[in-house]
Structure 1
Amino acid sequence: MTFTYVPRNRTEIRTLSVLESLGLANYALPKILDDLNPQDVREISRRARLFAHIHPIPTRPVTGELGSVLEKNLYGYVLDKYGSVTALARSFIGGGRGVVITTGNLYFQFAVHLIRSLRMLNCDLPVEIWYNGAKDLNTTNTDFIKNFHQVKVKNIRDHFSVKMETWDIKPFAVIASAFEEVLLLDADTVFAQNPEVLFNDEGYIKNGALFFNDRSLFPGQGEKSNWILSMFPEPHSIRLQNLRMLQAKSQYELEAGCLLLDKRRHFHGLLAVGWLNCPGPIKDTIREETHGEKETFWIGLEMLDESYSFMPNLPGSLGTVTYNEGDRVEELCGKLAHFGRDGKLLWFNDAIAASKLPEDYFLNVLSDLTHYALEREGEWEALCLRKGPFHKLDEDQLKMIEKLKSLYRFNPIERTLKPPVEDFEQ
């Protein structure tokens, strides 16, 4: 037996009365006590929506046997450290806005550059650096980062007992952050503008969640559509139907190097995001079908039928124009670049260095970034856009790139930042 709750924002469906809610609870409870197939994401979505309906105010205690059963069965990963989802909500409500960065020793030098660049861009938001235990980020590095103004270092293991690897930490860092509104950044993200402008974006203001598109790669492969649709109760939202993955325009949707989330507005959706990243068959399937944790952000919100926005501009490539002798074509290879609604360069990933490999000489070589190309005008070949047109950065943008380069100080021979930092092995 399954059931579906249609949220109140669907005006053609009337809201359940108190009596009807009680009746549903009394009827549904025996069914919910039955074992649930851990791979039945659609049924998990239904129950998560029911829990959101009977627990609409996160800071209030969960009441009733039905609420307690749902809380335990859905979000046990929260209860281990927090005791309840209510305690989790109370830990960040009223926490304001802030930046969350996850890093280990391997990318620590990039995280330092990111913090320095944010301050250079007059971004005064407080920052949390999250890591996954002492082997992930050593004591010397944590002590170093604490010297920065308004920067705190936090160990995810103090908040969750969930086994995490590499990217897994990102959604849990968002959930555990003390901030109510989170700007989540990868350590190798580089901004060309003050990122605080994103909080004023019309999509974020409307929906409380702002995402950026990944490259549109491997179009025409529609086999993922059925798998995606199988996770969500019907009727499917217009948001879902318009995604490039559903329309077979790309095998990837979301670029998680930068995203914004209002945790108060998306509390239940974020709980679902966390569930999707807990060890188990669903996480394994998502890792097989996609790339890391990134798609789980929109999937979790969609499970709760919560609205979100994507920046309308597709990404591009930032670098220099070269001629490929083998293919006899001009191409622009470099960083994956993202643009604001005004079309101006906003941020790019893959760091300011020419390489991120831990033993690569090019860690000390700064990338030559003079031109950009747009996905809608070119043709992707890995991180290269081919055939143009290629656009030169304007003088102000070129000056900003040089300022960003001046903040990166890394000695690959000594394997240290200045001041010294220990090795970057994970």
Structure 2
Amino acid sequence: MLSLPRSPVMRLLILVLAALIVLAFSVRNRSLPDQNYWDFRQQQQQQRQRQQLPAEGSKERVPLSSFKVPENLYLTHDVAIPHNIPPWTRADTEMLGTSIGFTLKAEMLRQEYRPGEDLTGHPERINFAELSRAERLYKALWNHVYPLYQSLSGRDREREQQLLDMAKTRPEVDFFLKLERRLYPWLHYGRQSSLSLHKTFKGKGLVFCAGNGQFEFVVTSIQALRSRLKSALPIQVFHMGESDLSPERQKYLREMASGIEVVDVTQILDNAHMQLGGWAIKPFAMMASSFEEVMFVDADAYFLQDPAVLFDDPGYLATGALFFYDRTLFPDWTEGSDWIKSMLPIMSTFPSMSRMFNLQSAHEQESGVVVINKKTRFPGMLAICKMNGKWERDLYSYKVFHGDKETFWVGFEMVQEPYAFMRNYGGVIGQLREDDDQSVCGAQLHEDHQGRPLWWNGGLYRNKNSGVYTYLDFGYWMSGGGRQEHRERFTRDKETMIQVLTDLGIGSSNELELEPQDPLWDFGESCLAGGTVQTLTMREKGLANGYVGIDKIAREDGAKMYNGESPDPRRHNWDTGTA
């Protein structure tokens, strides 16, 4: 038998150690205290976040982020919680003077291509993985230099000159200006930096883009807002010069309703670098717009509510960016997610739960309506534009995705900005399929966060993609599904989970079941089946079918312009849809 040491101090230490071992063993083997299950689950979640371990049931590590949103937002929106990009520090500035800093600058400031240069056949000249690193570095610098610019006095030109003078003695300011010129050269059109452009943003408004080919569409869409919904939001219509939208059509747009400005984007941003065409104008128009809070609207998109409600949407208010889901189409497509993974080793919480990453749909975002606060999400807006640059889109983003659609949320991922998706997939609005009262056929519908019809994209025709240009008889709609409000992964705290269980009429999370399969699209016929057929309200029917009358006037005037006439939009009664 071992005896204790004679020293009183050693005896005391040994006894204390033994007591601690016994206490630890008893606590380890004791059953959990009688406490609420959700309190314990919340403790587990907090511990995982502290340790940066995967959350229960998730596929990725919890991101290092200080960004927070209200917990109940997860019941109506899918929210991207980004990683924090560390702020620029004095140590970073000092590093620029080292051999490592010299090498970093040489890599970050390399030129991909010159204005007018043809990169066809040379995709290796564009490296999106390196581009993403450069843009995240730029974001840290922008957040560092912006307060310096704000502290300067005088007019914008005077401030910019002071910034140029500052760059002579402050290497991080010099690096910022050079990196911006490398990444976003189209910004420097009559200005020395993005900061002077950013300073001009103010107010809220709508942005449309239209050339001669979209003229009739945009007339109908704008008149639907002004004459039927009585929306008072200011509107800017962007084009790419008189060869894109004729002076006669520009004059018509300005005169047809109040609060409409027609703007040539190439007079604000440098088209020698952008080389705009087609869909690519959309993000650049949003950037060039004078609005601080900007909502882009497709020329053939129509609302059933005043679009102003989206500026008060909880997801937009929480993140500064609101996107809408596209239809669920073409599963088992891997090219999009594979490309994103190849260039973005750091991603927010969103991609892992997206349909694209889970091979449920080739499409994620519908870009017919996009809402962004440019004051708070400026680096994200720049990254979106970069993905729509001439060779970025021709060699990569438009080849991988269907045009500009995914460039919005992927651009935000490149610089780790937060954003929210309205949690309902693209549905349908229109009429019942002939001989089938369980299918609705027509245009792609999107709901608000309360599940009511809000806007649709695709015009007023039965199926324009198949050349069926007969007007729809609007009477029905069907949700595309995807609300998934009962999924446990969206309810992270006790109060929210209890509310969900109460709403569903069940007593335990063990009774939760996966949502039934979302309705299925007949893409060729533009019909959706498998969901609940819902009837539009009398007001919604009146609005939607009333837009047809407006469209007939727009098409008559468009035909007259084509024949060299100059119709006057002010002579029409747009409220009643009569010429």
**Interval containing the TM-score (normalised by the shorter chain):** 0.7 to 0.9
Q: What does residue range 196-275 of structure 1 map to in structure 2 within 5 Å?
A: 196-234=308-346, 236-275=347-386
Q: Secondary structure at the match of 2:471?
A: coil
Q: 2:477 aligns with which of 357, 365, 372?
A: 372
The 1:317–1:68 alpha-carbon spacing in structure 2 relative to 1, beyond 3 Å, is: same
Q: 2:101 aligns with which of 16, 20, 28?
A: 28
C-alpha separation between the residues in 2 aligned to 1:12 and 1:103? 37
Q: Secondary structure at the match of 2:213?
A: coil
Q: 1:83 aligns with which of 184, 192, 202?
A: 192
Report the Cα offset of residue 417 of structure 1. Answer: 4.4
Report the Cα offset of residue 178 of structure 1. Answer: 0.6
Residue pair 1:174, 1:184 contacting (<8 A) in 2 also: yes
Report the Cα offset of residue 387 of structure 1. Answer: 4.2
The 1:264–1:367 alpha-carbon spacing in structure 2 relative to 1, beyond 3 Å, is: same
Letter in 1 for 2:177: S
Report the Cα offset of residue 390 of structure 1. Answer: 1.9
Aligned to 2:281: 169
Q: What does residue range 20-419 of structure 1 map to in structure 2 within 5 Å?
A: 20-26=91-97, 27-34=100-107, 35=110, 38-56=125-143, 58=146, 60=149, 63=167, 64-92=173-201, 95-119=202-226, 120-147=228-255, 148-159=257-268, 160-161=270-271, 162-234=274-346, 236-281=347-392, 283-323=394-434, 331-354=439-462, 362=469, 365-376=470-481, 377-382=518-523, 383-410=526-553, 416-417=557-558
TM-score (norm 2): 0.65
Report the Cα offset of residue 305 of structure 1. Answer: 0.2
C-alpha separation between the residues in 2 aligned to 1:152 and 1:13? 38
C-alpha separation between the residues in 1 aligned to 2:89 and 2:386? 29
Q: Secondary structure at the match of 1:332?
A: strand
Letter in 2 for 1:20: A
The 1:421–1:133 alpha-carbon spacing in structure 2 relative to 1, beyond 3 Å, is: same
Residue pair 2:292, 2:375 contacting (<8 A) in 1 also: yes
Residue pair 1:140, 1:422 contacting (<8 A) in 2 also: no
Report the Cα offset of residue 304 of structure 1. Answer: 0.7
The 1:46–1:239 alpha-carbon spacing in structure 2 relative to 1, beyond 3 Å, is: same
Q: Secondary structure at the match of 2:551?
A: coil
Q: Which moved more, 1:397-406 or 1:42-51?
A: 397-406
Residue pair 2:236, 2:261 contacting (<8 A) in 1 also: yes
Q: Secondary structure at the match of 2:244?
A: coil
Q: Secondary structure at the match of 1:123?
A: coil
Residue pair 1:105, 1:423 contacting (<8 A) in 2 also: no
Kindly provide the CA deviation profile for residues 324-343 of structure 1, in whole angstroms up to 9, marking residues without a partner as x. Answer: 7xxx9953221000011111
C-alpha separation between the residues in 2 aligned to 1:355 and 1:104? 22
Report the Cα offset of residue 11 of structure 1. Answer: 11
Letter in 2 for 1:321: L
Aligned to 2:32: none
The 1:330–1:298 alpha-carbon spacing in structure 2 relative to 1, beyond 3 Å, is: same
Letter in 1 for 2:267: D
The 1:17–1:133 alpha-carbon spacing in structure 2 relative to 1, beyond 3 Å, is: closer
C-alpha separation between the residues in 1 aligned to 2:376 and 2:554? 44
The 1:29–1:153 alpha-carbon spacing in structure 2 relative to 1, beyond 3 Å, is: farther
C-alpha separation between the residues in 1 aligned to 2:94 and 2:66? 18
C-alpha separation between the residues in 1 aligned to 2:105 and 2:65? 20
Residue pair 2:216, 2:554 contacting (<8 A) in 1 also: no
Aligned to 1:19: 90
C-alpha separation between the residues in 1 aligned to 2:473 and 2:537? 15
Letter in 2 for 1:367: L
- Structure 2 gap ranges (5+): 1-63, 68-80, 113-123, 150-159, 168-172, 482-517, 565-579
The 1:166–1:58 alpha-carbon spacing in structure 2 relative to 1, beyond 3 Å, is: farther
Give me the identity figure in percent. Answer: 28
C-alpha separation between the residues in 1 aligned to 2:278 and 2:189? 22
Letter in 1 for 2:359: A
Q: 1:421 aligns with which of 535, 547, 561?
A: 561
Letter in 2 for 1:334: G
C-alpha separation between the residues in 2 aligned to 1:226 and 1:417? 44
Report the Cα offset of residue 231 of structure 1. Answer: 2.3
Residue pair 1:378, 1:387 contacting (<8 A) in 2 also: yes
Report the Cα offset of residue 309 of structure 1. Answer: 0.4
Aligned to 1:3: none
Q: Secondary structure at the match of 2:375?
A: coil
Residue pair 1:210, 1:261 contacting (<8 A) in 2 also: yes
Letter in 1 for 2:207: V
Kindly provide the CA deviation profile for residues 15-46 of structure 1, in whole angstroms up to 9, marking residues without a partner as x. Answer: 56733222343343432223476432122122
Letter in 1 for 2:223: R
C-alpha separation between the residues in 1 aligned to 2:82 and 2:380? 21
TM-score (norm 1): 0.87
C-alpha separation between the residues in 2 aligned to 1:275 and 1:113? 31
The 1:141–1:25 alpha-carbon spacing in structure 2 relative to 1, beyond 3 Å, is: same
Count of residue pairs brought into register by the alignment: 406
Residue pair 1:217, 1:380 contacting (<8 A) in 2 also: yes
Q: Secondary structure at the match of 2:126?
A: coil
C-alpha separation between the residues in 2 aligned to 1:260 and 1:392? 28
Residue pair 2:301, 2:456 contacting (<8 A) in 1 also: yes
C-alpha separation between the residues in 1 aligned to 2:253 and 2:82? 50
Report the Cα offset of residue 282 of structure 1. Answer: 5.1
Residue pair 1:141, 1:422 contacting (<8 A) in 2 also: no
Letter in 1 for 2:552: R
Report the Cα offset of residue 7 of structure 1. Answer: 7.5
